Structure 1
Amino acid sequence: MNLPPLTQSFVLHFGEMGSHWGINRTVGQIYALLYVSPKPLNADDIVEAIGCSRSNTSMALKELQAWRLVKLQHLPGDRREYFSTPDDVWAIFKTLAEERQKREVEPTLTMLRGAILERPGSEEERHAQARMKEMYQLIELVTKWFADIRDMDVETLQRLMKLGAQVQKVLQFTQSLGRLAGRDGAKEE
């Protein structure tokens, strides 16, 4: 690799993590390189920096484009294609989450919907179907929650995330207020 030590460390780490994320090493390395690069890079730049083959680079860039994680651009006077990542890390997070939902969550929900609608043929299948229904309801709830999160502006999302466990305290407080209001309403009647 022909990279400064800090960049090389980041690129190598993303390559190693790729297998945990369901992508190959080269895709992870190329994404990391594009993410930290101060300017868009073409395939030749990537090949030189990482030391992978041109065909491997082309395939990785196609995969990153399919995930909507890189932007293709052309520079004046240059016929080559240049690639970069979105500048906003929150936009990257949202895009990645949307793509994972489309590729992993939605097919699972479709399968579970079909399984829940089937008529169970035995007690064992009734049990399995009940468990699948629980899973379906959980995934649906998380999907709706994510849709709400995805629609938040970045500032609100950051504030929400920084709240962390304090959200639980707010919910407990509002529940206490609700119980108090319920008691007061009962006294007034």
Structure 2
Amino acid sequence: MTAAARMSPASDTDAAIIGRSVREPECFAVVFDRYYAQIHGYVARRLGRSLADDLASETFLTAFALRHRYDLAHPDARPWLYGITSNLIARHHRAEQRRYRAMARTGTGETSEGHADEVVVRLDAVARRGPLAAALSEISDGDRDVLLLVAWAELTSEEAGRALGIPAGTARSRLHRARQRIRAALDRTDDRDHTRG
């Protein structure tokens, strides 16, 4: 057991650990251990594996540097970490757009491991990956960020709003708008499939 784990029991809230890490920096390792795999998986889904290692690591380096500014009133650090991640992903907007367009053309994407695969199944099956990617490439960055934080990071719309620094009502509106665009794109695909069959 590491010294950080002994100082920050697994039952402590993220806020308690982050607060303690201001005085005892090694405690932040507990937050890293709790969320690195989730953040890495999210980045891999959005930008591909080639950027996931770097951006996931950069997320935690940034979080560590900003830990003294964390709002300790929020026991769960996931929205904060995903907010940092979303800001880093925004710098790679072109790479994300290229990825979705390529997936739309081929109907395939990189295979991913664990939780990300389960999310893809829930969004819909492999047959819909191309149209889904095309729809994702066409919606606004803000709408896509909220949708993917809810769908892939499993945040609530309120948590997604907090992650992105927008009001909860705005997050709900963006989520609704994004879902409508995705549904419309998938319905068009279903209609084409039915007319062919």
Same-fold call, TM > 0.5?
no
Structure number with the higher helix fraction is 2
> Is the strand fraction higher in 1 or 2?
1
* TM-score w.r.t. length of structure 2: 0.32
Normalising to structure 1: TM-score of the pair? 0.33
Give the number of the structure with larger relative contact order, counting CA–CA contacts within 8 Å between residues 6 or more apart. Answer: 2
